[in-house]
Amino acid sequence: MHERDLDSRRVVGAAGTRHRAQANGADVTGFSRRSVLRALGAAGAASAASGVALSAAPAPAGAAGSGSPDHGRVPDDLRPGGAYDRFVAELAERDEFSGTILVSQRGRTVLSRSYGLADKEREIPNARDTIFATGSVTKLFTAIAVVQLAEREQLRFHQTVGEFLDGFAPEVADAVTVHHLLIHTSGLGDYVQTDAWKEGRQVWDSPEEIMAGISGIVRGQPAPAVPPGDAEAYSNSGYHVLGEIVAAVSGQPYYDYVREHVFGSADMTDADFYTKPAWRDDPRIAIPYTLDAAGDRVDALDQLPYTGAPAGNAHATADGLAGFARALDDDDLLGSLYRGIYLDTKRPGLWSDTQDMPSQVKFNTYGPHALLVNEQWGLGHNGGAPGIGAYLEWYPAQDIVSVVLCNYDAQMTSTIAATARRIAMGGDW
């Protein structure tokens, strides 16, 4: 068991033993609809009514890369001196990228590079152990927490928001399910776009005020414009509600639960929801830099809230994120059945990076995006905010993990991640 102290930001605990999975991915290759509904802990009729719809395709967790002749081999262009390495170095030389990239296979580092300054004022360079804000990559941690509670039979995916939380209108309390929240079909919208958030983030100065302030905004937003389950709309508000549910069901504050059961279980020793004062003072944490109207890079920390929340801005190192993917594969975060439920495709999803790889198809899961490319699965999530760019992806067929962490604006991180994806999954370079 790991204990994390918000004030000291130190982790106490012993590292667990790892047992690597085979290179072709996990041992769960898919589920029938009946078996999954049993795992959801609900009668088939109740689950169908809640909008649970699982694809006929196998779970990405167990998909093998039959489309690649180099199955299990790291492409030369992902290795030191390869096309990916040169591409990122050129971006850094032009000051278009500042941060860390990491490529690993089966827990072994293939490529690790860091560029730019973590703190321009103190001239602290970015390094492999630099801690970065991860933006919406945090949603992976929130979703894992929810599925862990389902695995322990403390909640069920068809249960509605009103069964856990008070203060919501009937259109939300009685109709929006945990399932809807996880796959962005709740219709709850995005608190980040509200004036109340833009004002509140400047004055809330504790984790408790952040959680309570966002919760108030979410409850005051308009009811869903369409019935829950009918349409996908990326929802920071929905993931905040999931964080509230984690706290209500577990009996722990959201932050404490994630520290113990997600970061602790994955041995992410430097991961935390660092507060703005710690972010400012701790030389290990990269300061975010954004472009102002004149095109100059300026410190963006004052534009960000006091600390992260269930929808975004936990902090981690590149090795920490890669370790999260490994821990998921090793069943340290979820058992194999619920790992499959977490990763199984639920519905086709929206995707905007088609210019980078037109042949890919995106699906929603209970956390990561799942990309089907060249008959292979890629899994992960991205994140961004002023001065923050993050991407974590892993490719089960090759057992390759790709991490991009940046303390500049996020635009370039998607291009860098797409380049690694294209090479790893057999696309043209």
DSSP string, 294-347: TS-EEE-GGGS-SS-BTTB--EE-HHHHHHHHHHHHTTSSS-HHHHHHHHS--E
H/E segment holding residue 247: helix 236-250
Cβ-based neighbours of 68, under 8 Å, separated by 6 or more: 374, 375, 376, 397, 398, 425, 426
Banded pLDDT at 38 (limits 50, 70, 90):
very low
Burial annotation 44-72 (CB, 10 A radius, 16+ → b, else e): eeebeebbbebbeebbbbbbbbeebeeeb
Q: Which of the residue ranges 68-82, 240-254, 260-274, 414-428 would you say has the lowest mean pLDDT?
A: 68-82
pLDDT at site 62: 43
pLDDT at site 381: 96
d(CA 159, CA 409): 38
Q: What is the percent of the chain with per-residue pLDDT over 90, rounded to a whole number?
A: 75
Banded pLDDT at 426 (limits 50, 70, 90):
confident
Q: Residue 160's beta-bridge partner residues? A: 177
User: Looking at the predicted structure, is the pLDDT value of residue 193 above 50?
Assistant: yes
pLDDT at site 46: 33
d(CA 121, CA 114): 18
pLDDT at site 359: 58
What the block records as the tokens of 104 is 């690993």
Banded pLDDT at 16 (limits 50, 70, 90):
very low
Average pLDDT over every residue of 79-88? 98
What DSSP character marks residue 192? G
H/E segment holding residue 84: helix 83-93
Average pLDDT over every residue of 176-203? 96
d(CA 90, CA 45): 56
pLDDT at site 365: 95
Burial label for 280, CB within 10 Å (0-12, 13-18, 19+), is middle
Q: Which residue has the tokens 């974590």?
A: 392
CA angle 356, 357, 363 (to 5 degrees): 115
pLDDT at site 358: 52
User: Looking at the predicted structure, is the pLDDT value of residue 45 above 60?
Assistant: no
Q: What is the pTM of this model?
A: 0.84
Average confidence score pLDDT of the chain: 84
What the block records as the tokens of 302 is 């004052």
Average pLDDT over every residue of 38-58? 36
Average pLDDT over every residue of 127-156? 98
Instruction: Please state the φ and ψ torsions of residue 312, each to the nearest 5 degrees.
Output: 180, 155
pLDDT at site 42: 35
d(CA 285, CA 124): 10
pLDDT at site 12: 27
Q: What is the percent of the chain with per-residue pLDDT over 70, rounded to a whole number?
A: 80
265-319 pLDDT tens trace: 999 999 999 999 999 999 999 999 999 999 999 999 999 999 999 999 999 999 9
Domain edges within the chain:
76-425
A 10 A CB-CB count for 170 gives 9
Average pLDDT over every residue of 11-31? 31
pLDDT at site 19: 31
Amino acid at 42: A
d(CA 82, CA 93): 17
H/E segment holding residue 371: strand 369-373
Q: What does the radius of gyration of the chain's CA atoms come to, in whole angstroms?
A: 20
d(CA 316, CA 269): 9
226-273 pLDDT tens trace: 899 999 999 999 999 999 999 999 999 999 999 999 999 999 999 999
User: Looking at the predicted structure, is the pLDDT value of residue 190 above 70?
Assistant: yes
76-425 in CATH: which number? 3.40.710.10
d(CA 346, CA 50): 13
d(CA 64, CA 413): 27
347-387 pLDDT tens trace: 887 655 444 555 568 899 999 999 988 888 999 999 999 99
Give the rounded distance of the alpha carbon of 426 from its chain centre: 24
CB 396 within 8 A of CB 26: yes
Numbers of helices and strands, H then E, in the chain: 14, 16
What the block records as the tokens of 214 is 């966002």
